[in-house]
Structure 1
Amino acid sequence: MSVTMKSRSTLDPAAGRDQIDVERALAEIRAGRPVVVRGRESVLVLSAEALDETNAALLAPLAGTGARLVLPAPRLRRLGVPERTEPGAVALPLLDPARIETLALRLDGRIDAPVAPASPGDEAALALMALAQVLPAVLAIPGEAAPPGTLSVAAEAVARYPGRQAAGLREVSRAPVPLAGAPDSQFVVFRGGEGLRDQVAVVIGKPDLSEPVAVRLHSACLTGDLFGSLKCDCGDQLRGTAGWMAQHGGGIVLYLDQEGRGNGLANKIRAYDLQARGLDTYEADEALGFGLDQRRFDFAAAMLTALGVSRVRLVSNNPEKAASLEAAGLTVVETQRALGRVTPENIRYLTAKRDRAGHALDLDAFVCSEA
């Protein structure tokens, strides 16, 4: 087995101090520790889901009367501000974890204070939460005071980070991996794209790169792909597309680490809990503070380019994927549907994707299965 090593040294000044700062800040956020976001107004920020009684007591001396809870527009609309289109901040006279949890997460939460505009630092903090795939709600304390050892990151560095990650995508390994229904397959692993997570290109058969290549952009779905969840059709689409490619001249499945439309696994399961209480898939995401779709596909285009693909026959029901590849410079010559089962458990999910996100789904063409 040959292993490709194209790694960029983290000690190389070309890697960029800002890039390293963001990567370390993401690790701190996911670990439940605060970071300082530097900008016109520096602000100490902590993921709202990390605020417990202990952290509240430690941060209270720094908070004074200027602490605020920063929330994205979808969450503010859910809390009772129907016309809100931009993030906003709610004053926190006290660091009360119960109140913050209600405003950030609970379905019955309602705004109990005026909403101020979010500062550039607040918006950079929300972007950090999105990159870290934690709940999009931020405890923000203005000023540079911070616990000893707290990391800091420039707001501008956070804004530049996703584009730089796509540009720095690199192949790290490859090997043949025979699959059921597609025995002539090779896995090519790239690092980068979304954070520093690994992304996989599954090359099925021997696609002719001089012709348009059949491609599927498949976002990872632990529940559907691995466990066969009846709440979605992801696993059916994945395996069905791989088998179809094996029988029709080959193709490439990009398996992208973008669980829950880019929201992360923990937030996806939070959304499932809300769906069990009557919300559809998009209503549940909005109640948590997310828009329709947080995914980016510029790094998917970079993966295809690295594999020598310039023209694509896209296997997808999602028009945004074709638009993203075109915007990144690839040519999408045609699209075809990716089919899956309809079950009593996923019919509402599929209907919401069709009606709210424009997915090309003709539900009457599927056979509904009770299994």
Structure 2
Amino acid sequence: MRLVLGLSGDIDRMQVERAIAEFRHGRPVLIEDGEAALLAIGVEDLDAEACARLDVVAMGRARLVLTDKRLGRLGKERTVPGAVALPTVDAARIEALARRIDARLDAPAHPIAPLDADALELARLSFVTPAVVTVPVPAEVEREPSLVRVPGAAVRGFRRAQARLLRVASRAPVPLDGAVETEFVVFRGGEGMRDQVAVVVGAPDLSQPVLVRLHSACLTGDLFGSLKCDCGDQLRGTVQAMAQGEGGVLLYLDQEGRGNGIANKIRAYELQAEGFDTYEADEALGFGLDQRRFDFAAEMLRQLGVAKVRVMTNNPEKIAALEAAGLEVVSDLRSVGRRTAENVRYLATKRDKAGHMIELDGATAPKAD
């Protein structure tokens, strides 16, 4: 009898997780759909040496896949992603088209294939620049055994599958300053390979509407007190309000930079220092208005026994997401932080461009020069 060692469980999910790791390390991945196959690699760390190796494989068939937002920045207005032909895999041209702010595209942007879209989704899941170089791989071409291979369908279904796998990983009392009776509940699954935290303040009555806040992690504001946003004030103010009231649940969600990741958030900050507003900066990098999802947040609340909520938020999208997920939103309250010279434009932009319910005494978002 021959014993074969292997891993049971969801093979598709495992393949996507390995592909994400490869993308984050700047290595190519083979995405497959039946007989069709595509070699894909993110543009980060794609230096001249790597491009030269890729050029040998590509034989003139490489394409640079960009989001509609990035193409708009390059002067090609589109509502869907597009691809730019790369007769040669040139590192300088790729860097310019994918990341330089003053670049313009002097070539057509072609429609993308389904596997190109899967490659772009892998970049988003990996929190790297949302731009990929892709090369179609004919069926007769021998594939390097060390290449990580992933089905396109698995990439497309990854987020949805993760939401179904949400479960409590650990929980324990964690007394906080001003909120001694507090429990941290850590959830695994729901959003990629990251853990999410529910902070249960006090002893909320689950038979009644529970005060809830969905708070996306903000390293700069929550931990370091950045003056560019009001996130830290909202975080601490919410916990204080819950402790002084009838308790509540704060979901601390690992969705830094509106779901773009910390590296892209800091890149956006660099552009903001040059005059872009928060959404213009994200669009210049290739991102849409908001990449966050909140369906798994509703499932976290359900697993805690919460069915009716009073939501503390300024963001109407969070209210709509909880309602769409089947929770009863009884009321919504505003979450207010300090107004500073450094964050007033940011707050006004969120109000004016994303419909956030923020009172600023008539302030408007200044225009970039």
2:3 match: none
1:132 match: 126
How big is each residue's C-alpha offset from its partner over 1:151-200, in whole Å with a ceiling of 9 and x where there is no partner?
Answer: 11111111111011011011111111111121111100011122110100
For the pair 1:299 / 2:296, whether they are aligned, the reply is: yes
For the pair 1:222 / 2:216, whether they are aligned, the reply is: no
| 1:44-193 superposed matches below 5 A | 44-82=39-77, 84-143=78-137, 146-193=143-190
2:254 match: 257
Aligned to 2:161, what secondary structure does the other structure show?
Answer: helix
| 1:195-210 superposed matches below 5 A | 195-210=192-207
1:361 Cα offset (Å)? 0.2
How big is each residue's C-alpha offset from its partner over 1:107-161, in whole Å with a ceiling of 9 and x where there is no partner?
Answer: 0011121110011001111111111111100010111555440111111111111
How big is each residue's C-alpha offset from its partner over 1:21-57, in whole Å with a ceiling of 9 and x where there is no partner?
Answer: 1111111111111101112631100001131122112
1:12 Cα offset (Å)? 3.2
Contact (CA 8 Å) 1:224, 1:233: kept in 2 or not?
A: yes
Contact (CA 8 Å) 1:212, 1:310: kept in 2 or not?
A: yes
1:81 Cα offset (Å)? 1.1
Amino acid at match of 1:183: V
Output the CA distance in 2 between the equivalents of 1:325 and 1:50: 38
Aligned to 2:110, what secondary structure does the other structure show?
Answer: strand
Q: Which moved more, 1:54-63 or 1:263-272?
A: 54-63
Count of residues in correspondence between the two structures: 354
2:336 match: 339
Output the CA distance in 2 between the equivalents of 1:312 and 1:132: 32
Output the CA distance in 2 between the equivalents of 1:364 and 1:207: 34
Contact (CA 8 Å) 1:314, 1:322: kept in 2 or not?
A: yes
Q: Which moved more, 1:35-44 or 1:241-250?
A: 35-44
Aligned to 2:252, what secondary structure does the other structure show?
Answer: strand
1:3 match: none
Aligned to 1:98, what secondary structure does the other structure show?
Answer: helix
Contact (CA 8 Å) 1:298, 1:325: kept in 2 or not?
A: yes
Contact (CA 8 Å) 1:282, 1:292: kept in 2 or not?
A: yes
Output the CA distance in 2 between the equivalents of 1:103 and 1:97: 10
Amino acid at match of 1:123: A
Contact (CA 8 Å) 1:39, 1:120: kept in 2 or not?
A: no
Q: Identity rate of aligned residues, in percent?
A: 62
How big is each residue's C-alpha offset from its partner over 1:288-339, in whole Å with a ceiling of 9 and x where there is no partner?
Answer: 0100000000110111111001111000000000111111111111110000
Output the CA distance in 2 between the equivalents of 1:274 and 1:256: 25
Aligned to 1:260, what secondary structure does the other structure show?
Answer: helix
Aligned to 1:354, what secondary structure does the other structure show?
Answer: helix
1:365 Cα offset (Å)? 9.0
Backbone CA RMSD of aligned residues: 1.4
Output the CA distance in 2 between the equivalents of 1:129 and 1:352: 27
Output the CA distance in 2 between the equivalents of 1:365 and 1:95: 50
Aligned to 2:150, what secondary structure does the other structure show?
Answer: strand
Aligned to 2:361, what secondary structure does the other structure show?
Answer: helix
Aligned to 1:174, what secondary structure does the other structure show?
Answer: strand
Aligned to 1:313, what secondary structure does the other structure show?
Answer: strand
Aligned to 1:108, what secondary structure does the other structure show?
Answer: coil
Aligned to 2:257, what secondary structure does the other structure show?
Answer: coil
Output the CA distance in 1 between the equivalents of 2:144 and 2:87: 20
TM-score, length basis structure 2:
0.94
1:263 Cα offset (Å)? 0.2
Q: 1:43 aligns with which of 33, 38, 45?
A: 38
Aligned to 1:115, what secondary structure does the other structure show?
Answer: coil
Over 3 Å counting, the alpha-carbon distance change for 1:365 and 1:355 in structure 2 is: closer
Q: 2:317 aligns with which of 302, 317, 320?
A: 320
Output the CA distance in 2 between the equivalents of 1:71 and 1:271: 17
Amino acid at match of 1:11: L
Q: 1:18 aligns with which of 7, 12, 16?
A: 12
Output the CA distance in 2 between the equivalents of 1:42 and 1:234: 43
Output the CA distance in 2 between the equivalents of 1:64 and 1:329: 51
Aligned to 1:57, what secondary structure does the other structure show?
Answer: helix
Output the CA distance in 1 between the equivalents of 2:27 and 2:328: 43
Output the CA distance in 2 between the equivalents of 1:118 and 1:249: 52
How big is each residue's C-alpha offset from its partner over 1:238-295, in whole Å with a ceiling of 9 and x where there is no partner?
Answer: 0000000001100000000000000000000000000000000000000001000000
Aligned to 1:171, what secondary structure does the other structure show?
Answer: strand
Contact (CA 8 Å) 1:131, 1:194: kept in 2 or not?
A: no
2:270 match: 273
How big is each residue's C-alpha offset from its partner over 1:200-239, in whole Å with a ceiling of 9 and x where there is no partner?
Answer: 0000000000001100000000000000000000000000
Extract unaligned runs of 5+ from structure 1: 1-9, 367-371
Over 3 Å counting, the alpha-carbon distance change for 1:248 and 1:87 in structure 2 is: same
Amino acid at match of 1:94: T
Amino acid at match of 1:231: K
1:352 match: 349
